[in-house]
Amino acid sequence: MQDQHDKTTHFGFQEIPVDEKVDAVAKVFHSVAAKYDIMNDLMSGGVHRLWKMHTINQSGVRSGNKVLDIAGGTGDLTLKFSRIVGSQGKVVLADINDSMLKVGRDKLANRGVVGNVEFVQANAEALPFPDNTFDCITIAFGLRNVTNKDAAIASMYRVLKPGGRLLILEFSKPESECLSNIYDQYSFRLLPMMGKLIANDSESYRYLAESIRMHPDQETLKGMMDDVGFERTSYQNMTGGIVALHKGFKL
């Protein structure tokens, strides 16, 4: 019988044993945590803020709701949700990586967020929450780093309340060949250079570019959500498909 060390998965463009991927991804995010927010602004020219704002607008989250922001990292979505759900609601910022969680916790404390946010270290593949807990779950730029994406989507389905929604914000496949070529030049040449200059780490930013290319495209990801049981699944492309927002409901 094969064990987890014989089976392989991708880590960017490399094939590595399945049981080594979590540590490889952890190394990337331990390394980039301190510079994560500034690099996000630089790499996207600030556009990641618009993608996230659109996600919040599409989430339908209201005062009093319970929200899970899994792979929440430095807490951009959590910060906005905590203001919407108010004192009667709750936001759980969960992430597998304690360096990212620490940056998130400090940032939210500095912005005066207290009381309705809980920080939990957790793997998206095996969420440590009871069934039917959350009104809304978001995972932004997190799913492509997860080893077993089907397990993660199933775990999110389990902890959503009936009537609840999952929103997956992730890099995806550009709609036009021309955009795709420009984007390739940008991500394989410029990104690692910026990573080297700003964070003294070109390898992590090379992984970022490679992991984007290895992520399932729009239709494949929608199919994965359908397979787990999500209903009324849909997606919207943003910035020509560089990013897509997938949505699905647990009915």
Q: Is 242 in the site for ligand SAM (CB under 6 A)?
A: no
Using the rule CB under 6 A, give the single segment among 66-74, 112-120, 210-218, 228-236 that binds ligand SAM.
Answer: 66-74
Q: Is 67 in the site for ligand SAM (CB under 6 A)?
A: no
d(CA 246, CA 137): 12
Min dist. Cβ of residue 251 to ligand SAM (A): 26
Of 31, 76, 160, 209, the residue at the interface with ligand SAM (CB under 6 A) is: 76
- The single residue listed with the structure tokens 């919207």 is 236
Q: Is 81 in the site for ligand SAM (CB under 6 A)?
A: no
d(CA 123, CA 111): 26
Of 39, 61, 67, 96, the residue at the interface with ligand SAM (CB under 6 A) is: 96
Which one-letter DSSP state was computed for residue 153? H
d(CA 51, CA 237): 10
Q: Is 79 in the site for ligand SAM (CB under 6 A)?
A: no
By CB under 6 A, what part of segment 29-58 binds ligand SAM? 29
Task: Using the minimum distance from each CB to ligand SAM, give the nearer residue, 97 or 116.
Answer: 97
Task: Using the minimum distance from each CB to ligand SAM, give the nearer residue, 53 or 178.
Answer: 53
By CB under 6 A, what part of segment 116-175 binds ligand SAM? 123-125, 140-142, 145-146
Query: How far is Cα of residue 160 from the mean position of the Cα atoms in its chain?
Result: 17
Which one-letter DSSP state was computed for residue 190? I
C-alpha distances (whole Å) from 2 to each of 7, 8, 17 are: 7, 11, 11
Using the rule CB under 6 A, give the single segment among 12-20, 73-81, 106-114, 160-168 that binds ligand SAM.
Answer: 73-81
Q: What φ, ψ does residue 213 adopt, rounded to 5°?
A: -65, -30
d(CA 189, CA 177): 18
By CB under 6 A, what part of segment 6-25 binds ligand SAM? 25
Which residues have C-beta within 8 Å of that of residue 241, sequence separation ≥ 6?
Answer: 172, 173, 174, 175, 179, 218
- Which residues of the shown chain bind ligand SAM in the complex (CB under 6 A)? 25, 29, 70-74, 76, 95-97, 100, 123-125, 140-142, 145-146
